[in-house]
Amino acid sequence: MTTNKLRIAAFQRPPVFDDIQKAVAQLCTDLRWCQEQGVELAIFPECYLPGYASDAQTIAQRALAIDSPIFTHVLQELSAFDTDIILGFFEQATAGIYNSAAVIRQGQVMGVYAKRHPNERGVLAGTASPVFDRSGFSYGINICNDANYPDCAAELSTQGAQLLCYPLNNMLTAATADKWRSKSIDNLRQRAMETGCWVASADVVGALLGAHENKISHGCTCIVAPDGSIVARVEEGSEGAIVFDIE
């Protein structure tokens, strides 16, 4: 009997802000590595392309329309790679701005998921939960705060998703980061056990030192089996990537 498998990779990277070329250069480096490893699906952190923000003014400055020249250029840069890419960004749509993640395959946008429970100012809530297919496996996306809501995961599972992908951005003040250090893992494990799905997350890591506030992300990049066990994880506080075959 032939067993289908999907080789996935999740990346834990420092955030990049307002420098799309730098972000794309890192993406291309990581995707070349994915091709060498035979990775079919790569997951990157929440809003990785422009850099995350929570205030409305910065979000509006960073928002990109999918048909904009900048986003079109990004797609051209990524067109050489066969790996499915889950890439987060603030999406400028007709109705307003969404916190979104696009599924990109060989430079084509296969679909977009918009965060159902955004906790950023001025960001609209998404309404759809699309499911994608790769190598006979179905996968869907929830974004960061969505992990607190079991219904988001359940909606993907009922549509046949076998893998739930979570772009995260746990760059928080020190006290809040400490609180979520275990809570983020607990949420992912709960979503896996409730749905019987595999779960994979990709988070930012490092520290931001500013004049007004200091923030840190320990990193919560991991792969969780349907029974809730953590089968792979990038070390806390470190850049890195994990590769795992889901069967």
Q: What average pLDDT does this structure show over 101-107?
A: 98
Question: Which pLDDT score is estimated for 29?
Answer: 98
Q: Where are the alpha helices (DSSP H) in the chain?
A: 20-37, 56-62, 69-78, 150-158, 174-195
Q: What average pLDDT does this structure show over 107-135?
A: 97
Question: Which pLDDT score is estimated for 213?
Answer: 74
Question: Which pLDDT score is estimated for 4?
Answer: 82
Question: Which pLDDT score is estimated for 55?
Answer: 96
Q: Which domains does the chain have, with CATH numbers?
A: 6-246 (3.60.110.10)
Band the pLDDT of 211: cuts 50, 70, 90: low
1 pLDDT more than 60: no
| CA atoms within 13 Å, Cβ hemisphere of 9 | 22
**Residue pLDDT, tens place only, 180-191:** 999 999 999 999
- CA 38 to chain centroid, in Å, comes to 20
Write down the pTM of the prediction.
0.97
The pairing of beta strand 131-134 with beta strand 123-124: unpaired
Beta bridge partners of 114: 100
Question: Which pLDDT score is estimated for 210?
Answer: 76
Band the pLDDT of 3: cuts 50, 70, 90: low
Backbone angles phi, psi at 139, to 5 degrees: -140, 155
Question: Which pLDDT score is estimated for 2?
Answer: 46
Q: Can you tell me whether residue 243 is helix, strand or coil?
A: strand
Mean pLDDT of the chain: 96
Question: Which pLDDT score is estimated for 146?
Answer: 98
**Residue pLDDT, tens place only, 140-179:** 999 999 999 999 999 999 999 999 999 999 999 999 999 9
Beta bridge partners of 242: 10
